[in-house]
Structure formats: structure tokens, C-alpha cells
Structure 1
Amino acid sequence: MEDMQTIYGFKLKYNKAWRSREQALMAVRGTVEESYGKLSSYLFMLLNQRFQVLSSSIVRRCQFFKHKIRSQLLIAIALDANEQLFPVAFGVVDSENNNSWTYFMQQFKVAIGLVSDLVFVSDRHSSIVNALSAVFPEAHHATCTYHIKMNIVAKFKTDNCHDEFDMASRAYTVPKFHQHFNKIKTKDSRIVAYLEEIGMERWSRAFFPGFRYN
């Protein structure tokens, strides 16, 4: 809208600008319906590939698809041998709930088979917790420290303890953990209570019972 006003001196209404943008995207990428129509052939190609899955996996949730096809993308990502993010599995579902996450985990288990010392790292969404308990009861489940920091900012309107939290979460020993965690105690007791409520074993390397990725 600003470009049209600046270049051509024409005041474009929002709805017309949006429709023009959609037409341009479809011209470049094709329609959403066409993209969905290619999924079957893409899945066929995946079935003919061979992958080696690592022992540690990250489970993430993505945002809603902002389009007329309302759905969500569930995806599992692992670290490869070069410590680069490697997508292992994904699923498109109507909404994020217990049924969709449980189904995703069931299919994920079929895909990777039995993996020892399996670790999942996710946000604190209750449906992920429930699905992992039902499908991967032997796996360890950690909480993503990035999500914790974002939640602290949203909940307490501050990032004053981010450095101390990072150092505490990455500490290898319990004494080192307390060295950094005590600094948070001197700054903001609210954040301390929030972190304790999550559970140290969920986000601290020193207390985590499994092998957590770096």
C-alpha cells in the first residue's frame, strides 16, 4: 500500500492490496490446493529413502497456517552428526490436542523404531506431555529453555535474569548450577518460583536424568 502510494500516487485499499498479494504468491508458488495435492508423491519419495535417526530429538510446535486451510504443523527435529537441525517427521492436523499429538507420536514411533536413551525437548504444552507419556513412557522429556525465557518475558515483563538462567541451565554440576541459580534468587523471587514450579529436572543439565542435547 505504501509502495503504491509512493511510486504511483495511488491510494490502494487494504482488501485490494491483500488480494493482489495473494495473486502474486499463487503466481510464484502455486495454490495451496496444488501444494496439498503434491503431498502423496512427496510421501512416496520419502518411503524410498533411508535415514539414520539420532538418539536425541526435539519436538516443536509451529504456528497455525494463516490461510483459508486452517491447520497446524507438528514436526519432530533431530540433530545430525554435524549438529545441524534435521527434520525427522511432520504431520498436518486440524488442531493441536491430545488426539493429534498422540497419533503423531504413534506414527513417529513406527518411523524410528526402538531408540535407547531417547530425549524429547518441547514447550510445556499439555498435549505433548500426555502423548509422550502414552507412547514413549521410557523416554526422557525436557522443557525447551528458549520457550521458558520467552514465557518469563511474557509473564513477568523482564529479561533481567536471562544470562543467569542460561548459565544455570547449562551447568554440568549441581554446585555450579546453584552458583548461577542463587544469582536469580537475588534478582527476582517470582522467576525463581516459576522455575521451581516447572521442575529443575526439566530444564537443568545438572539435574536432568537423561542425556540432554547441547
Structure 2
Amino acid sequence: MALMAVRGTVEESYGKLSSYLFMLAKINPGTITDIQTDEHGHFRCMFMSLGFSIRGFRYCHSVLCVDANFLKHKIGCQLLVAIALDANEQLYLVAFGVVDSENNNSWTYFMQQLRVAIGVVLDLVFVFDRHPSIVNDLSSVFPEAHHAACTYHIKMNIMAKFKTDNCHDEFDMASRAYTVSQFHHHFDKIKTKDPQIAAYLEQI
């Protein structure tokens, strides 16, 4: 009750989003915002990339990690993010969106807005968790970009699928190898230790 008295309700906050995004874009030059509602004026999705984040991304590594996470309040929804690494190897938020759920439509919307925000970036690489919606939308919205699978998600999938962390060290070494010969040296160890895991990784 105290929090509601200070902050208002979640519903009231959503009602102020349009005004907030308008002022945000007005005060921060170059900011890209968008909000979508249904025919009744109810919130559907939104996107935001601050002007200074867009300008600063030019000086970051041209690698974007994209992922989704649940928003833990009664309305639900999911948070979509695009994060880079700056020159100090620290996380750099480029853009985020709020959508009803993680599906083809929501990722298409997010990627299209991200394209407006960052434009064409030379040798751009996207890292993600192999969600099929992300794969499809990246191919259509960012056809020139390179795709990479997140090694953390792959490792967690190995644990879930094979119920073992038997090859964790070898997987880490192989995924971080800087030369082809180093990669094969560590990957051959995975083949010896667990051929099923090796076959699963080769499919990826």
C-alpha cells in the first residue's frame, strides 16, 4: 500500500508511458521510441533506445547480444534487450522493448525498431539463445549481419538434455579457442569423453 501511495498502480504507470516516451525523445536528441496499443487503447508493446546509447554504440564492439526475460508484476509481459560491450568490456545497453510474449510478432517488432535505431553497422554480429523467432527475424531484418549462438545457453541445454556436466571444461576451452587447431584439440576430447554430446554440438 505504501509503494502504491508513492508510485501509483501498475495500470496508472502504463497509462503514462506515451507521455513519458514523448518527453524522453524531446529531451534526449536522437532517442528512438515507439509504443503500440490495441483498438481499445490497451498497451501491446513498446521500444526505446536512448540517443546517447545509439551514438555510443558506434564506439563499442559491433556485437549485440539479444535476449528476453520475464517482467515480474501482475500484468506480466516480457523484456527484450539488445546489449553490447564497451571498450572496457562492460555491458552497454543499446535498446530494450516490452512485449506481451516472446514470439515471432514481438521479435519482428523489436528487430524492426532496432534497425531504425542503429541503421547499418559494418560486420555486425548477433549473439542469442537460438530461439527460432530470433533466427527468422534476424534473417529478414538484418540480412547482412552474422549470427552466433550463446555458449552459456548451449552449455545449459547440454546439462538439461544429457543430465551431466561431464564435458563442461572441454566445452569452455573449445568455445573460447582462437585458432581452428586449438578448437579441434579440445573438441576431440569431447568426442572421446561423450560422443553423444559431440554429435549434439556438431548439429549446432
Q: Distance in 1 between matches of 2:84 and 2:173?
A: 23
Q: Distance in 2 between matches of 1:145 and 1:27?
A: 44
- 1:89 correspondence with 2:95: yes
Amino acid at match of 1:45: L
Stretches of structure 1 that go unaligned for 5 or more consecutive residues are: 1-22, 199-214
Q: Distance in 2 between matches of 1:93 and 1:157?
A: 33
Give 3-state SS (helix, strand or coil) of 1:86's partner.
strand
Stretches of structure 2 that go unaligned for 5 or more consecutive residues are: 30-50
Q: What does the per-residue CA deviation read over 1:124-152, in whole Å, with 9 as the maximum and x for residues that have no partner?
A: 10000000000001100100000001111
Change (3 A) 1:181 1:31: same
Give the alignment's TM-score, normalised by structure 2: 0.78
Q: How does 1:1-214 map to 2 (within 5 A)?
A: 23=1, 26=4, 30-40=8-18, 41-42=20-21, 44-46=23-25, 47-48=28-29, 49-50=51-52, 51-53=55-57, 54=60, 55-63=62-70, 65-198=71-204
Point out the structure with the larger strand share: 2
Aligned length: 175
Change (3 A) 1:117 1:39: same
Amino acid at match of 2:23: F
Percentage of identical aligned residues: 74
Give 3-state SS (helix, strand or coil) of 2:56's partner.
coil
Query: C-alpha root-mean-square deviation of aligned residues, in Å?
Result: 1.9
Q: Distance in 1 between matches of 2:91 and 2:16?
A: 24
Give 3-state SS (helix, strand or coil) of 2:144's partner.
coil
Q: Distance in 2 between matches of 1:173 and 1:28?
A: 56
